[in-house]
Structure 1
Amino acid sequence: MEKTVYIRLRHRVQVRPDDCITVSKIAQIVAEKELRTRISNLVVHRVQPSDKNIVVIDVMRVLAEVHKTDPDIDVQAVGPAQTIVEIVFQKKSYSPVLFALVWILLFVGAALAIMNFHEDVSMQLVHKRLYTIITGKTSEHPLLLQIPYSIGLGLGMILFFNHLFKKRINEEPSPLEVEMFNYQLDMDMYVSMKENKESMKKIDDH
């Protein structure tokens, strides 16, 4: 029983460009204390410039490294079959001018999208009609409806995205976060298949 080790690979980990990737960085290990310490320090991969920014480590590679230290170890692998290792380089400082240009572009684009939508559905005519029905009067600028509508539109966007600046309103993920999560899962699956050299074998490979 002392020679039994349970290993569960993590889905995604981040390392520095000059790091050595050990088993403890990419996996959870359950074993007798001394054996766990020995396996945790095993080096699976050394980050090289040719790795660029993504490395996929297969569970079979981890098992091979463990068995090199002691062939009698009974390794039980559970969970994912690959770990995606993201190599994080030093972030470049953002230019305030570039940030301002992007912010203005997004602001103007969002404003135009909202205005074009309102024009397509004749929102101004709807407000005028509602104002006439409610008050019995005709107005070219029914501010009584337009001002609350504009405020409600902004509040609705805040509730939809579930964020007020950097503060989350509640623990539920927003639809945008769910879509980003699904997109990340698809990307990870693609990377796992594309970058993992053990997952595919070409006809010329020996």
Structure 2
Amino acid sequence: MKEKREIVYLKADRNSVCHDPKIKIQDVMSVQCADSAICAGIKNKTLYTFKKNDDQKKEGKKKKRMEVFSMLNVIERIQTDYPDVEIVSIGEQDFVVQLLDAPMAPKWLETLKVVVMVVVIFLGAAFTIMAFNNDVSVGEVFNRFYQQVMGKEKPKVSEIEIFYCLGLAVGILVFFNHIGKKKITSDPTPIQVEMRKYEQDVDMAFIENAGRKGHEHDVS
């Protein structure tokens, strides 16, 4: 009777971020096997080791280094140590591993960048809203509406402008699903959705470019 082979299940995410140059399999994917010894051995197996970047340290920059791996390469590495196991991949077939070095810039500089970004976004959004109001002549619409309803000339500041400003602020908060650090609902915000789409497009482009240039870690 043929001996039953242990089955190892691997699930890799498309993009994994690591902070240690020595990348183990457990750092970039989930591993499941009925045999705990085999499972532990595979998890602690080294997948790749990033080389030290001395130029980066001299410049004092925080930089991401990326490598693309094929699941076939991972399976080949595992089978060199465990030739009798059956490997089943239920995740991504090609994935990106990023090494993000510890930030070297001072904290005050990061805070300054955030403040500058907030000011630029605020002024840009305010200019966009004012330009839109002028393009569609919101002020003239308010004047006519007030005169038709109230039967008299609208004062410089009326209830319409006040409620318009309040409604605009509430609409922005509801749309972006955020009040400060708290979310109104558990749904992802529009910014989070767009960022995920952007990350997926970047990962796919990086994987395809690495494959075309022959930089992907694949089976020989």
Taking structure 2 as the reference length, the TM-score comes to 0.81
State the number of aligned residues. 201
Matched residue, 2:8: 5
User: Percent of counterpart pairs with the same letter?
Assistant: 24
Q: How does 1:25-64 map to 2 (within 5 A)?
A: 25-31=27-33, 32-49=35-52, 53-64=65-76
Who is 2:137 aligned against?
A: 122
2:147 partner SS: helix
Task: Give secondary structure in 1 for the equivalent of 2:173.
Answer: helix
Counterpart residue number, 2:147: 132
Residue-by-residue CA offset, 1:25-58 (whole Å, 9 max, x unaligned): 1221121111111111111101224695212221
SS in 1 for 2:97: strand
Q: 1:14 to 1:168 in 2, by over 3 A?
A: same
Structure 2: runs of 5 or more not aligned:
54-62
What SS class does the counterpart of residue 95 from structure 2 fall into?
A: strand
1:113 maps to amino acid: T
Measure, in 2, the Cα distance between the counterparts of 1:40 and 1:55: 19
Within the candidate set 89, 93, 111, 1:81 is matched to 93
TM-score, normalized by length of structure 1? Answer: 0.86
- Structure 1 stretches lacking a partner, 5+ long: none
Contact persistence 2:22–2:46 (CA under 8 A)? yes
Give, in angstroms, the shift of residue 102 of structure 1: 3.2
Structure 2 CA distance for aligned equivalents of residues 125 and 170 of structure 1: 37
CA RMSD, Structure 1 to Structure 2 (Å): 2.4
